[in-house]
Amino acid sequence: MTKAAIIILNFNGKHFLEKFLPSVMEHSGIAEVIVADNKSTDHSVQFLQNSYPEIRIIQNPVNGGFAKGYNDALKEVESKYYILLNSDVEVSEKWIEPILKLMDSDEQIAACQPKILSFKNKSHLEYAGAAGGFIDILGYPFCKGRIFDTVEEDQPEFNKTYPIFWASGAALFIRSEIYHAIEGFDEDFFAHMEEIDLCWKINRLGKKIYYCGESKVYHVGGGTLPMGNPRKTYLNFKNSLITLYTNSRYSDLFWKIPLRFAFDLLAIFKFLFSFDIGSIKAILQADWDFLTSRKEIRGKRNNFLNKYPIVNSPYQYNGFIVLDYFLKKRTKWHDFEFLKTKNKK
């Protein structure tokens, strides 16, 4: 068993592999580098075989998306730590060592992420993870340094190390034993929000999740589905509802789910004003599919609930981030006193 393995999930991302694999190979340190291919049709596998014969390739039989793709591949990887890395990420020198040192120092730390900066604008954080993930009382995710579409410029406070609620799947360090204990990602998600559901379950195990500002990577973002794509909107809205439902107490669901639908209606009105019919249809379809599949979702919820109780995390924001952002105009991290107290380190 190796100490750490970098697993890059790829689907028709040959152009990303050509661009970003050199940095991974240069700065992989002690970690084994593995590419798990989701049945690509762009000759990604042939490129890897010819250009990087030292890289282990796992060829998944189907394209099951991010969730199933990783679940299938990681059954074949024996390592103490998994490092799940998007194919559109450029890594930096010594990005692995600080996180492994941190996780080695505390066995209660189950997962961790580095600082995620924008590859296109390297002075700013990147949307998918930024300086660590948090979540509000209704299950809306946001990040330190990124609340909805407001992404902040990098600054010294983002160089610190501190606990968070969820770590980004763009560059996710996780103990393999924990990953398999909670049976990996929920494969019904296909893509988007799956790491938040995974991290919520980690919180329920009583384990810790950390952000390590000493480590940094640069993420392109939107490599699979660009921002504004109706399919992306659909997956984000549906999977967010599933995550909230499976990780909340039944007594809370009676008011949380209706309120979520009300906020979804507000989102529909917002898209109506911009004539974004694709996003409107995506939200309506997401809500409908959630409602019609609740029996199956309830079964998964009860199965996990029998093993691990629902607990309150000190890193869950006991407020409404939607109202804070759109009505109160709290768009940056320093606007939230409650959240600032969680990251004094």
CA–CA gap between residue 70 and residue 162 (Å, rounded):
27
pLDDT band for position 312 (cuts 50, 70, 90): confident
pLDDT of residue 300: 83
User: Is pLDDT of 298 > 60?
Assistant: yes
- Cα(333)–Cα(164) distance, rounded to whole angstroms? 14
Say whether pLDDT at 340 is over 70.
Answer: no
Cite the DSSP H helix spans in the chain. Answer: 14-26, 44-51, 65-74, 97-105, 176-181, 194-204, 230-246, 250-273, 277-292, 294-305, 321-326, 337-341
Rounded to two decimals, the pTM is 0.95
In this prediction, residue 235 carries a pLDDT of 93
Distance CA 192, CA 215 (A): 24
Q: Which residues of 103-121 are buried (b: 16+ CB within 10 A; e: fewer)?
A: beeeeebbbbbbbbbbbee
Q: Which segment of 179-193, 214-228, 275-289, 311-325 scores lowest on mean pLDDT?
A: 214-228
Partners of 86 in the β-ladder:
9
DSSP helix/strand/coil, 189: helix
| Rg of the chain in Å (alpha carbons) | 19
Could you tell me which of 148, 160, 149 has the C-alpha nearest to residue 115? Answer: 160
List the domains of the chain with CATH numbers: 2-219 (3.90.550.10)
Dist. CA 62–CA 69, nearest whole Å: 8
In the prediction, which pLDDT does 191 show?
84
CB 237 within 8 A of CB 286: yes
The mean pLDDT value for 98-121 works out to: 98
What mean pLDDT do residues 251-256 have?
95
Question: How many CB atoms are closer than 10 A to CB 240?
Answer: 23
The pLDDT, as a whole number, for residue 303 is 82
Q: Is the pLDDT of residue 343 over 80?
A: no
Q: How confident is the model at residue 226 (pLDDT cuts 50, 70, 90)?
A: low
Q: What is the mean pLDDT of the chain?
A: 94
Q: How far apart are CA 14 and CA 119, in angstroms?
A: 18
3-class DSSP state of 37: strand
CA distance 259 to 138: 8
Neighbours of 90 (CB within 10 A): 21
pLDDT at 186: 93
Q: What is the pLDDT of residue 342?
A: 58
Exposed, middle or buried by CB within 10 Å (0-12, 13-18, 19+), for 163? Answer: middle
Length of the chain: 345
* Cβ contacts of 305 within 8 Å, gap of 6 or more: none
Task: Look at residue 228 and tell me whether its pLDDT is greater than 80.
Answer: no
On the question of pLDDT at 156 being above 60, the answer is yes
For 34-56, what is each residue's pLDDT tens digit? 999 999 999 999 999 999 999 99
The per-residue pLDDT for 294 is 86
Average pLDDT over residues 273-295: 94
What is the pLDDT at residue 43?
97
Tell the residue number behind the tokens 């309150």, with chain if given. Answer: 312
Question: How far apart are alpha carbons 158 and 160 in whole angstroms?
Answer: 5
